[in-house]
Amino acid sequence: MARRQLELSNEVAAELAGAQDQILRTLEEHLDCAIYLRGNVVTLDGDADAVQAAATVVRELSSLVARGHELGPATIESVTRVLDERESPAQVLEDVVWRHRNLKVAPKSVNQKRYVDAIRRSTITFGVGPAGTGKTFLAIAMAVAALSRREVNRIILTRPAVEAGERLGFLPGDLMAKVDPYLRPLFDALHDMLDAERVAAHLERAVIEVAPLAFMRGRTLNDSFVILDEAQNTSPEQMKMFLTRLGFGSKMVVTGDITQVDLPRDQKSGLVVVNDILTGVEGIEFIRFGGEDVVRHKLVQRIVAAYDEHSQRAAPELRPAPSPSRERRRTN
């Protein structure tokens, strides 16, 4: 057993204490040692390696507090996740993509940081991974930020209107009313980024366009930030059609989860096929997310892991490379 004591500033000690020691208890859940806080001194008890790792986490949290971050369970989870990848939490968590009122959008994992950087430097970026990894949310935040800086003149958000067990024909209304449920997640993300009045004004002036993938055919999209969501439900032909809409001064982001394909069993997913065709092409990057990047409820991580294990043989080339933390857990 080893013991280590760290003296903290009063501000950091107050943040760590939190309401009824919630932050300390969350820290203990992520670290393999006991943690006690008395005054502004934190005591770590446990195996030597665990105590050393815990001390690193506490120092990183202290650094974030000094930079103005508020500590919460999500922050602790993000810090421990990033440290597992041997990266600097401050470098990842302080890369703020977009701010709106109380919302601050920034990467919460190393892969999310790589994804954001890839979008910045590449013309076309593919974000492939399970639900809850922030693929669409971060892409829309990047699009809104680019629009606000006038790097693009419009944002175009699109999805294939593929039925996931439902029937479009039985839904009431005209075509747009029928496909609205399929586009609703994109509208929800937009309303998180901007005031409702601003979204409505942009939609009315076609500065922001949200439309089914079929509406992209025959167009050339110049000076636009274009996001294709749920791309696993495109056919190879649809994927080619979409990518060739790229115009001058535009960026494209393609997101999808190859474990949630709703196409007929005998039809290939365009997201799977495009990996074989475009890997290595200059100006195009593929970012693969894994279960460790899920930033939703912890149960979602376990669900993703279970499904991922079940479908290991499906398109392994699109799966993320094992992270150092995953390799360590596998060998322990």
33 and 136 share one domain: no
Domain that holds residue 186: 108-331
| Domain boundary pick from 93, 118, 140 | 93
| Residue 204 CB neighbour total at 10 angstroms | 9
Please check whether residue 267 lies inside any domain of the structure. Answer: yes
Cα–Cα distance measured from residue 245 to residue 243, given in angstroms and rounded to the nearest whole number: 5
Distance, first Cα to last Cα, the chain: 20
Query: What's the domain count of the chain?
Result: 2
What is the SS3 assignment for 149? Answer: coil
Q: What is the pLDDT of residue 219?
A: 94
Neighbour-count burial for 13-52, b at 16+ CB within 10 Å, e otherwise:
bebbbbeeeebbebbbebbebbbebeebebebbbeeebbe
Q: What is the pLDDT of residue 255?
A: 97
* DSSP labels, 33-82: EEEEEETTEEEEEE-HHHHHHHHHHHHHHHHHHHTTPPP-HHHHHHHHHH
43 and 180 share one domain: no
214 and 297 share one domain: yes
- H or E element, residue 117: helix 110-121
Report angle CA 37, 38, 42 to the nearest 5 degrees: 40
Question: Which token pair is 118?
Answer: 């890839």
140 and 20 share one domain: no
34 and 77 share one domain: yes
Q: What is the pLDDT of residue 167?
A: 44
* 132-299-270-268 Cα dihedral, nearest 10 degrees: -170
10-residue stretch averages of pLDDT, the chain, 332 residues long:
89 77 78 87 91 87 78 74 78 86 86 94 96 92 97 95 49 54 84 93 94 90 97 95 97 94 89 93 94 70 75 57 51 48
